[in-house]
């Protein structure tokens, strides 16, 4: 991926050019035809997924079907760079897609080769998770008031 393209992803919007270049070197490209999975629910979450082109449908067996979608440029799975666990959904290409993956092993290499970029990614991920937690807490509070 071109390092300048990383600016379009909210997680990397504040990265310096040098940080984007270091991160881009660690990414692995995957081209998905329509219907092909980027990953499956219940599989080990192996890293950050950047959707560069196309759209992914998110399906959940537990919830019984499609629960959402992602449109490029979006990302998912950043927390899996730092914590082991299973994927909560299946992500399927809705038309042709291009994704880039930063596997957990790539994050370890980034930490060794470009620690500032690794720190910025960890910081951005923590900020994103904090925002999701606040949103979830707000929704729970509203539900309790009803």
DSSP notation for 117-145: HHHHHHHHHHHHHHHHHHHHHHHHHHHHH
Superfamily of domain 3-104+113-145: Jelly Rolls (2.60.120.10)
The CA distance from 13 to 59, in Å, is: 28
83 Cβ contact list (under 8 Å, min separation 6): none
Higher pLDDT, 87 or 142: 87
The CA distance from 26 to 1, in Å, is: 10
The CA distance from 89 to 39, in Å, is: 8
The CA distance from 27 to 80, in Å, is: 15
pLDDT at 136 over 80: no
Write down the pLDDT at residue 51. Answer: 97
The CA distance from 113 to 109, in Å, is: 6
Looking at residues 3-25, what average pLDDT do you find?
94
Q: What is the pLDDT of residues 71-124, one digit of tens each?
A: 999 999 999 998 889 999 999 999 999 999 999 999 999 999 999 999 999 999
Give the chain's radius of gyration (CA, Å). Answer: 16
pLDDT class of 139 with cuts at 50, 70, 90: low
């Amino acid at each position: 991926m071109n390092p300048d393209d990383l600016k379009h992803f909210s997680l990397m919007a504040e990265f310096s050019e040098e940080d984007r270049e270091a991160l881009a070197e660690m990414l692995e490209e995957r081209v998905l035809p329509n219907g092909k999975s980027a990953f499956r629910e219940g599989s080990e979450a192996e890293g950050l997924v950047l959707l560069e082109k196309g759209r992914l449908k998110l399906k959940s067996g537990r919830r019984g079907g499609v629960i959402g979608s992602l449109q490029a440029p979006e990302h998912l799975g950043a927390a899996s760079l730092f914590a082991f666990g299973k994927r909560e959904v299946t992500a399927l290409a809705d038309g042709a897609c291009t994704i880039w993956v930063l596997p957990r092993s790539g994050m370890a290499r980034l930490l060794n080769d470009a620690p500032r970029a690794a720190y910025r990614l960890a910081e951005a991920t923590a900020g994103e998770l904090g925002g999701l937690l606040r949103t979830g807490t707000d929704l729970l509070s509203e539900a309790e008031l009803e």
